[in-house]
Amino acid sequence: MPLLALRVQVPPEAADALGDALLEHGAQSVSIEALDDPEPVLSAIFSGDADPARALERALAQCGARTTGQCAVRAIEDQDWVRRSQAQFAPLRIGRLWIGASWHEAPADCAAVRLDPGLAFGTGSHASTRLVLAYLDRVVCGGEAVLDYGCGSGILAIAAAKLGAGRIDAVDHDPIALEVARANARANAVELRVFAPEAAAPDRYDLVVANILARPLIELAPRLAGQAQRGAGLALSGLLASQAEEVLRAYAVLFDMRITAREEDWVLLSGVRR
């Protein structure tokens, strides 16, 4: 069955948030063309039986955004999309980490994470993901117990494993993400424990990371605090600079946290459990 491609013009300040929301509402992949232009174009790929227009409507409502032009949906052949994905997905080097696809050659002097673009969010191409990857490169020394909450493709959990972390648990509410994370872990020859939230063990961790959206991060504050042992590191991403203060307030009771990194309009909050 052909895939469906949605294209729509959006305001530059809403493009990243709308792309994330579309991924939550069924898009298999999202790209943004000419982000610096007054009216960048957001492209999203859906399965052939999806309803891209309805997904766009829900995504716009979720992030409070609007479009600046009409949306267009067309069918594309699967192989056409494979070729486009391979051409657009470039390898990424962050400190000790290298992120690339199965068709790329990894350098010998790095911890290589191989991920092909697919059904779950997280190939390292988004600024929010890069911020957490850089954090992991800075703080993982070896042997840590790590929780990746909202794991998506499993990229952060796999990166932690490649950097030498010990026990790594990955949690996501999306069953497709859980299967993708398991498959990516096998492809990278690392061991992850992958759970839905209701099945996750109430363990405590040395390091907790979550790359999701601002509102879920605020709602998850009690849970993530309960799973971080005293002195544990916490890194939160997936939020804009304008959202940082509200998220910081939600964690201030039990964590010493601040904005520690920024890329474009996206920020990383990190700190330590008191």
Share of the chain above pLDDT 70, in %: 89
Is residue 100 domain-resident?
no
Find the mean pLDDT for residues 89-104. 88
Q: At 188, which amino acid appears?
A: N
Find the mean pLDDT for residues 125-143. 93
Question: Sorting pLDDT into bands at 50, 70 and 90, what band is 5?
Answer: confident
3-state SS class at 185: helix
pLDDT of residue 77: 56
CATH number, domain at 74?
3.30.70.260
Is residue 235 domain-resident?
yes
Which of 54-68, 82-96, 143-157 bottoms out in mean pLDDT, i.e. has the lowest? Answer: 82-96
Q: What's the half-sphere exposure (Cβ side, CA atoms, 13 Å) at 4?
A: 17
Find the mean pLDDT for residues 153-182. 93
Which residue has tokens 């946290």? 257
Is residue 97 domain-resident?
no
pLDDT of residue 31: 75
Structural domain including 255 reads 122-273
The answer to whether residue 79 scores a pLDDT higher than 50 is: no
CATH number, domain at 234?
3.40.50.150
Please tell me whether residues 134 and 269 are part of one structural domain: yes
How many structural domains compose the chain? Answer: 2
| Among candidate residues 86, 101, 131, the one where a domain is terminated | 86
* 58-89 residues labelled b (16+ CB within 10 A) or e (exposed): ebbebbebebeeebebeeeeeeebeebbeeeb
Please tell me whether residues 261 and 128 are part of one structural domain: yes
pLDDT of residue 157: 98
pLDDT of residue 48: 83
Is residue 80 domain-resident?
yes
Please tell me whether residues 148 and 24 are part of one structural domain: no
pLDDT tens-digit series, residues 54-71: 999 999 999 888 887 778
